[in-house]
Amino acid sequence: MLTRRLLPGAMAALVLLASAGEAGATGYPYGTRTTVPNGFSCLDFDTANILRELRISPLPDGPVAHTDGTLSVSTVTYASTNGWVLDWYQNGTGPSIHHVVVQGGTRSFAYSYDPPRDHDRNLVGDLLDMGPLLKPQYEKLAAATFCYSTPDQTGFDGCTLGYWKVPQHHDAWPSGYYTWTNQQTHFGPLAFNDTLLNALNYKGGSTIVAAKRLLMKQATAALLNAASPAVDYPLTRDQVISYTQFALASNDRDVILSLGATLDAYNNQGCTLN
């Protein structure tokens, strides 16, 4: 990875992002935050070998540009009134950024982008417990990892869960798959006793059950992608089912979230359907 100080144009973009740099500012962060362990990777289930990671460690203070030769991003870390935060900006076009994992002291947060984004700000790391009389603070950030793909180079397609769940696209669901079908019909008894459509609207949380909901959200979209003859998805229908069943049976939150992250990225490879 190449790291360099920013040129004036790139620095201006980061200064603009950081200028309103209060954590929790309206609209930021864009990413959906999920607690993950340090060392979390979106590559663990990447059997199609289409994902890449740009890891920045240690994470330098101030505005700095980083590249691995394919993805180029600029970052700035700074202390706000709510603790240390990270702002980032993608330089140029091409790669699609699916997740940014920000590492604190004892845990990390994965910020997921569906669809991909080219910038975000106010990403935070670990919380420090300052005691009952003091306001909690965020630890200084240790590292950031960008999970990305280059759809124009992979040769694969994937429609987002947002595509599959809206009523105007229900007629694009592949033959034999219906909004009212029970998840257990396709994924087995470890899936939720709930419909496929409801799975596409699940929310996350910090428990194992919440992690399973996040997985089923992406696994349902993955199943529809894999079953559609018009989508050249990286996985087959049987692979989607077997991977999902394996992760659910593991009852391991890290494994469950890792597969969910991979499927999330696969589901953002570009939709060929109307």
pLDDT at 259 over 50: yes
Q: Are 113 and 28 in contact (CB under 8 A)?
A: no
pLDDT higher for 104 or 50?
A: 50
- Taking each continuous run of H as one helix and of E as one strand, the counts in the chain are 8, 12
pTM score: 0.83
User: Residue 258: what residue type?
Assistant: S
pLDDT for the residue 3: 59
Task: State both tokens at 181.
Answer: 């079908």
Residue 39: C-alpha distances to residues 57, 110, 132 (Å): 12, 11, 30
CA distance 154 to 152: 6
Q: Rounded mean pLDDT of 112-122?
A: 91
pLDDT at 246 over 90: yes
Q: Are 192 and 199 in contact (CB under 8 A)?
A: yes
> At residue 149, what are phi and psi to the nearest 5 degrees?
-140, 165
pLDDT for the residue 24: 44
Question: Which range has the worst mean pLDDT, 107-116, 167-176, 246-255?
Answer: 107-116
What stretch of H or E contains 197?
Answer: helix 196-199
> At residue 41, what are phi and psi to the nearest 5 degrees?
-135, 145
Using CA atoms in the order 166, 169, 173, 177, what is the torsion angle rounded to 10 degrees? 40
Neighbour count for residue 244 (Cβ, 10 Å): 28
pLDDT higher for 239 or 129?
A: 239
pLDDT digits (tens, 9 = 90+) for 133-150: 666 667 788 899 999 998
pLDDT higher for 105 or 50?
A: 50
pLDDT for the residue 229: 95
Kindly tell me the burial class for residue 146, based on how many C-beta atoms sit within 10 Å of its own C-beta (0-12, 13-18, 19 or more).
Answer: buried
- Quote the mean pLDDT of the chain: 86
pLDDT at 154 over 90: no
CA distance 79 to 196: 43
pLDDT digits (tens, 9 = 90+) for 1-22: 665 555 444 445 555 555 544 4
Q: Rounded mean pLDDT of 35-57?
A: 90
User: Residue 251: what residue type?
Assistant: N
Q: Which residues contact 95 (CB under 8 A, 6 or more apart)?
A: 52, 70, 71, 148, 149, 150
Where along the chain do its domains lie? 2-154, 161-266
